[in-house]
Amino acid sequence: MTPTSTATDATVAAVFREEAGRLTAALVRALGDFDLAEEVVQDSLVAALETWPKQGIPDKPGAWLMTTARRRAIDILRRDRRYRDKLALLERSDMTSDPAEADDRLRLIFTCCHPALSQEAQVALTLRAVAGFTTAEIASAFLVAEATVAQRIVRAKRKIVDANIPYRVPAGTELADRLDGVLSVLYLMFNEGYLSRGAQAAMRRDLANDALWLTRLVARLMPDQPEVVGLQALMTLNLARSAARFDEAGEMVLLPDQDRSRWDSVAIADGMALLDRAGAMHAPGTYQLQAAIAALHSEARSWADTDWHQIVVLYDALLGHVDSPVVRLNRAVALSHFAGPEVALGEVNDLALVLSGYHLFHSTRAELLDQLGEPVLAREARRRALDLCQNPAERSLLERKLRS
């Protein structure tokens, strides 16, 4: 049966978002050229949009895209004499084996996170190449202009070519030197999967699962690095609670209202064990502290049992590692449950200048203003949050609150 064009387009978009990183990684390995790899990936998407409505969606759409990308790459190389040396390599490569895929994606991450690039460029390029983020999505994640992100990506690609940076996973001290960038990328990948900033889906579970899978691979490479294990713990604990975050209609369920019996107790135990393992290395860091906060939420048998005082203490420790406006906003939320909404609102208002374009700043203000009996100001803040928000489930939640 051939699906409707609209349904097919939606399927192509979903499959492409899931497969783009795998395709790009395999093509960069085979071609050694970021721009050419991205061109081939885009051509494969166009081919799917043209073919699938007529012939039906293939049983293995990812494999179809990989085969199409390989054929398209060979066609391009045959027509351009500059790529003759790469043609023989590509014709001998099947680009399909799972072990190769794991190696490809790790190589691509570590290549993008080379210390010759600025950390901002490392993260932007990796999110684009490995996770398939659009420039707009990356800009939203960093609260910067799209043009800034586009320039970072272009310069990073040029630097990789000009400096002849090898496409490989490094070893020894070189491996450790790239760790911060790699973990930043995996963290942002997971966050986008766990609660998307885009309008296509509330949660991109495939992206969150990919981020956890890649983090596990890094943990195998570097088993004695506490922050790698801490990040794995953070992801595991958050995913353990994900089944309760949305109801059957896809509406968001906030933490106070979640059915905790739907949380995955086995995954929570796994996350706790990972956190204990990281803690035993006696080198606390950003991801371990966030995992410890997630652990306190996961351990609480009810909303009323949440240890907000300890969560505020952990946020204070986190600020010692990364003093960012978003961390301060999250701390203020925890503080509101411990010291009251008036104290928390004062701290939130201090962030108005730096977080004016961040929807969660405005939605947090709205909640606190409601608690303080300021419905008019709360409504104004909630409308601003809605203007800035793209995630469909978050938008629906804001709209419901505006109607109430």
Is 239 part of any domain? no
- pLDDT, greater one: 140 or 364: 364
pLDDT at 97: 46
Domain-terminating residue out of 54, 75, 96? 96
> Are residues 133 and 197 part of one domain?
yes
Are residues 403 and 312 both part of a single domain?
yes
Asked if residue 101 has pLDDT above 50, the reply is yes
- Among residues 49, 70, 96, which one ends one of the domains? 96
Q: Is 60 a member of any domain? A: yes
Give yes or no: residues 159 and 63 share one domain.
no
**295 residue type, one letter:** A
Residue 293, in any domain of the structure: no
Q: What is the mean pLDDT of residues 152-162?
A: 89
Looking at the structure, tell me whether residues 119 and 196 fall in a common domain: yes
Total domain count, the chain = 3
150 vs 137, 273, 286, CA distance in Å? 11, 40, 28
Give the pLDDT band of residue 116 (cuts 50, 70, 90): confident
Rounded to 5 degrees, what are φ and ψ at 330? -65, -40
**One domain for residues 67 and 103:** no
Same domain, 109 and 15: no
- Per DSSP, helices labelled H in 80-200 are 84-92, 98-112, 119-129, 135-142, 146-162, 172-177, 179-194
4 and 91 both lie in a single domain: yes
Mean pLDDT value of segment 7-21: 71
Greater confidence (91 vs 238) lies with 238
For the residues 96-125, what does the mean pLDDT come to?
77
Q: pLDDT higher for 367 or 16? A: 367
Q: How confident is the model at residue 44 (pLDDT cuts 50, 70, 90)?
A: confident
Q: With CA atoms as reference, report the closest residue to 275 among 289, 265, 261.
A: 289
Confidence at residue 73, expressed as pLDDT on a 0 to 100 scale: 82
Whether residue 161 sits in one domain with residue 122: yes
Range of the domain at 137: 98-207
Res 145: pLDDT = 87
What is residue 404's predicted lDDT score, i.e. its pLDDT? 84
> Which residues does residue 246 pair with via DSSP β-bridges, in sequence order?
252
Which tens digit of pLDDT belongs to each residue from 127-145?
888 877 888 888 877 778 8
Average pLDDT in the 218-242 region? 95
According to DSSP, residue 3 is labeled P
Lookup result for tokens 């999250």 = 330
Dump pLDDT digits (tens) for 165-182: 887 788 778 888 889 889
Residue 334 in any domain: the answer is yes
In this structure, what CATH number is given to the domain that contains residue 394?
1.25.40.10
Last residue in a domain, options 96, 120, 155? 96
Residue 360 in any domain: the answer is: yes
Closest to 391 (Cα-Cα) out of 115, 212, 152, 202: 202
* Residue 251 domain flag: no
Q: Which of 173-177, 220-224, 326-330 has the highest mean pLDDT?
A: 326-330
387 lies in some domain: yes
What pLDDT was estimated at residue 99?
A: 45
Same domain? 17 vs 91: yes
Q: Give the integer Cα–Cα distance in Å for 326 and 27.
A: 36
Same-domain status, 104 and 194: yes
Q: What is the mean pLDDT of the chain?
A: 88
Q: Residue 228 falls within a domain, yes or no?
A: no
* 237 closest CA partner among 210, 271, 260, 189: 271
Least confident of 24-28, 63-67, 319-323, 352-356: 24-28
Ranking 110-119, 224-233, 244-253 by mean pLDDT, the lowest is 110-119
Do 60 and 134 lie in one domain? The reply is no
